Structure 1
Amino acid sequence: MRWRHVEIFDAICRGGSLTQAAQLLHISQPAASKMLATAEMQLGFRLFDRVRGRLIPTREASILAPYVARLHQNLDDVSQLARNLRSHHEGLWRIGSSPAFGLELLPVALSRCRQAHPAMSFELRTHHSGELLQALETRDLDMVMSFDQGESSGVQQQVLAHTELVHVTLPGVAPLRCWEEMAERAFIALDADDPVGAMVESLLQRYVPEVAPFMRVQTHYVACSLVVQRVGEALVDLVTARAMQSRGLAIHRLPEPLPIPVSILTAHDDAGSGSRERVLDHIRQALLECRFPD
Structure 2
Amino acid sequence: MSETPLSAHTLKIHELEAFRAVMLRGTATEAAVLLHTSQPVVSKLIARFQRHIGIKLFELRKSRLVPTPEARVLFHTIERTYAGLEHVAHTIAELRGGHSGRLVVGSLPSFGMGPLADIAARFLKDEPGIRISVETVNSSLIRHSVVSGKADLGVALKSIDTAGVNAEPLVEVNTVCVMDRTHALAGKRSINVRDLEGVPMILPSRDSASHTAIAQMFADEGITPHLSAETSYAMTMCLLAMQGAGAALVSPFAAMHLRRSGLVIKRFEPSLPIELMLLTALDSSPSRISSMFIERLKAAMPALRQQWG
Q: Say which one has the larger Rg.
A: 2
Change (3 A) 1:289 1:35: same
Aligned to 2:46: 36
Q: Select 1:3's aligned residue among 2, 9, 13.
A: 13
What percentage of residue pairs aligned between the two structures are identical? 18
What is the CA distance between 1:253 and its match in structure 2? 4.4
CA distance in 2, matches of 1:66, 1:129: 35
1:168 paired to 2:177: yes
Aligned partner of residue 27 in structure 1, secondary structure = coil
Change (3 A) 1:93 1:49: closer
Aligned to 2:277: 262
1:60 paired to 2:70: yes
What is the CA distance between 1:198 and its match in structure 2? 5.4
Aligned residues: 266
Residues 261-283 of structure 1: CA deviation (Å, up to 9, x unaligned): 3334469654556x965753452
Residues 148-179 of structure 1: CA deviation (Å, up to 9, x unaligned): 8999xxx965444244573431272655569x
What is the CA distance between 1:81 and its match in structure 2? 0.7
TM-score using structure 1 length = 0.62
Aligned partner of residue 175 in structure 2, secondary structure = strand
Alignment of 1:230-245 (within 5 A): 230-242=244-256, 244-245=258-259
1:127 paired to 2:134: yes
What is the CA distance between 1:74 and its match in structure 2? 0.7
1:48 paired to 2:31: no
Unaligned runs of 5+ in 2: 1-10
CA distance in 2, matches of 1:248, 1:24: 60
1:20 paired to 2:22: no
Unaligned runs of 5+ in 1: 114-119
Q: Select 1:84's aligned residue among 86, 94, 102.
A: 94
Change (3 A) 1:201 1:7: farther
CA distance in 2, matches of 1:262, 1:250: 24
Aligned to 1:146: 155
One-letter code of the match for 2:135?
A: H
Contact 1:169 1:250 in 2 (8 A): yes
Change (3 A) 1:36 1:277: closer
